[in-house]
Structure 1
Amino acid sequence: MKLKFTKMHGTGNDYIYVNGFEYDLKNPSELAIRLSDRHFYIGSDGLIIVAPSNCADVRMIMFNSDGSEGKMCGNGIRCVAKYAYDNELVDTSKDEIDIETASGIKKVKLYIGEDKKVDSVRVNMGKAILKPKDIPMCNKLENEESFIAKEIEVDNTKVIATAVSMGNPHMVIFTENIDDIDLDAIGPLYENHEFFPERVNTEFVEIIDGNNFKMRVFERGTGETMSCGTGTCAVTVAAVLNGFAKYGEDINIHIKGGTLVDRYEEDGTVYMTGSATVSFTGEIEI
């Protein structure tokens, strides 16, 4: 069977996108592992299927490069919005659409370019989740109201971390000289920390000023990536909660793949704005 696909990225966080209105993939988890291989196949951080939804304009189904199913991806959802609009899978008279994800329905606003295609997307990411039992974290922390600026031990080293869920769990660590960190070595130790029964995405963050932060991310199931949209949102939330930034202000999170602009409102809602880019389209035998 020949499969048509579109390779897209949001600030370097790249996925293979497939039209779920056209294809009914039987084993998407296995396919994600195969197609994500950067040496022998297309290469990506995972596979995303843009499918019909019973409760929104479209549904986003995502798989990481290791085959595990993801609940939400901030960079991925922006590309889903562009894919759906540019391919007329949604009503193109609207510049706002709803996208069903495994962590709920997300509302997105589309910014259309002169070529009548989507240039960038603002996503209402919903409210940040701070209670450990809902992130989720381990049972011994389930009665805590939050995990903000708390001590955690990794590889016999104590660090200060803040835990946030944006539909998937994140551990944010503010530190210095993040370019010198060997993420390939220490990333898996954080990802599989005992405090996080479903594993965790980890962000290492350098403070530039109150509106600018530099971030590197080690994603569960994938490893270090160029960008992580839910990760930048978690960093924005953590920055405000730790007193490094303010509610209701645009915060620029600089990652390897570019910059995302996030905002954390006092009611707990997080907004993310960033690009969505087509790398190429193709067809592959599966």
Structure 2
Amino acid sequence: MPVKFTKMHGAGNDFVMIDTISQRIKLRPRDIRRIADRRRGVGCDQVLLVEPPEQPAADFRYRIFNADGSEAGQCGNGARCFARFVRHRRLTHLNKMVVETGSSLMTLSLMDNHAVEVNMGPPVFTPAEIPFLRDQPAPEYDLTAAGEQLRVGALSMGNPHAVLRVSDVNDGSLERLGEAMRSHEDFPEGANAGFLEIVDRQNVRLRVFERGVGETEACGSGACAAVVYGQRMDWLDDRVTVELTGGKLTVQWQGDGKSVLMTGPTAISFEGTIRL
């Protein structure tokens, strides 16, 4: 089965975009793993599908598959690439669109220089909705991981996140901690593990280990989660530049009940066809 695709990235977080509207295909988990394989396939952090919407309020349905074949509920960097992709493929003329994901409706706005702003919706702090095995919501929680006693922020941006403040994101021990946090038993569905280094109240550095993927050069929902956590702890202002390995994102949040806005770049790497 030949499948047409477009390879894209948002600040180094790379995706294979597949339009299932103009080509009628059904991908199995093993197909996703084959596409994502960096030696035998195209190679990517996640495979993103464009589908017709199921909800009347949406323009498209946006499905997200991790490199291991599992489906995710949210991906902020992927959402930016999604918006540029549907315009690039002339599936829409809109500069502002609503897409449905596995967890919510999102508004995507195309801006100048191929940047896209994503309305990620309000963060979720209720432990049962993250999900996270704690009784009451709190700005921070105790967590034991890799034999260490940690204080982490836990929240959902449409997917679960655990965020730890560190003095240096280049610390060699973070890979071990990241693996332990993203598969921690207190997160029944796993978590994206973020390590937050605060430069000042408007600038941070971030390193993220995504569930189902591993370490990525950027994570949009992870950037949002880290900034929200930092604001709740009164470490950060309401507009923050997040520096990741692959580039910079801007995150804005006005506080409880408000949506998180995330803005960043998109790029098309190449297009092709893979036979599955």
> Scaled by the length of structure 1, what TM-score is found?
0.92
Deviation at 1:184, TM superposition (A): 4.0
Match of 1:259 in 2: 248
Question: In 1, are the aligned partners of 2:146 and 2:176 still within 8 Å (CA)?
Answer: no
CA distance in 2: counterparts of 1:112 and 1:207, whole angstroms: 28
1:131 aligns with 2:133: no
Aligned CA distance change for structure 1 residues 276 and 8 (closer, same or farther; 3 Å): same
Q: Deviations over 1:121-167 (max 9, x none)?
A: 101100000111111112xx2x30x2322221112211110001000
CA distance in 2: counterparts of 1:155 and 1:257, whole angstroms: 27
CA distance in 2: counterparts of 1:244 and 1:29, whole angstroms: 41
Q: Deviations over 1:62-86 (max 9, x none)?
A: 1100000011100001111001112
CA distance in 2: counterparts of 1:182 and 1:174, whole angstroms: 13
1:185 aligns with 2:164: no
| Percent of aligned positions that are identical | 35
1:73 aligns with 2:63: no
Match of 2:194 in 1: 203
Q: Deviations over 1:161-219 (max 9, x none)?
A: 00010000000100112202344433221112121111111001111000101000000
Deviation at 1:220, TM superposition (A): 0.3
Match of 2:43 in 1: 43
1:171 to 157, 162, 165: 162
2:209 to 212, 218, 223: 218
The gaps in structure 1 that reach 5 residues or longer are 114-118
Aligned length: 273
Give the AA of the match of 1:150: Y
Question: In 1, are the aligned partners of 2:123 and 2:259 still within 8 Å (CA)?
Answer: yes
Match of 2:88 in 1: 86
1:2 aligns with 2:2: yes
Match of 1:120 in 2: 115
In structure 1, the residue corresponding to 2:177 is in which secondary structure? Answer: helix
Deviation at 1:278, TM superposition (A): 0.5
Give the AA of the match of 1:275: P
CA distance in 2: counterparts of 1:121 and 1:27, whole angstroms: 27
In structure 2, the residue corresponding to 1:179 is in which secondary structure? Answer: coil
Question: In 1, are the aligned partners of 2:117 and 2:262 still within 8 Å (CA)?
Answer: yes
In structure 1, the residue corresponding to 2:170 is in which secondary structure? Answer: helix
CA distance in 2: counterparts of 1:153 and 1:202, whole angstroms: 14
Question: In 1, are the aligned partners of 2:178 and 2:194 still within 8 Å (CA)?
Answer: no
Match of 2:140 in 1: 149
In structure 2, the residue corresponding to 1:85 is in which secondary structure? Answer: helix
CA distance in 2: counterparts of 1:73 and 1:241, whole angstroms: 22
CA distance in 2: counterparts of 1:62 and 1:150, whole angstroms: 29
1:236 to 227, 240, 246: 227
Deviation at 1:52, TM superposition (A): 1.1
In structure 2, the residue corresponding to 1:43 is in which secondary structure? Answer: coil
Match of 1:271 in 2: 261
CA distance in 2: counterparts of 1:41 and 1:182, whole angstroms: 31
Give the AA of the match of 1:88: R
Question: In 2, are the aligned partners of 1:264 and 1:270 still within 8 Å (CA)?
Answer: yes
The gaps in structure 2 that reach 5 residues or longer are none
Give the AA of the match of 1:127: P
RMSD of equivalent CA atoms? 1.3
Match of 1:23 in 2: 23
Give the AA of the match of 1:43: G
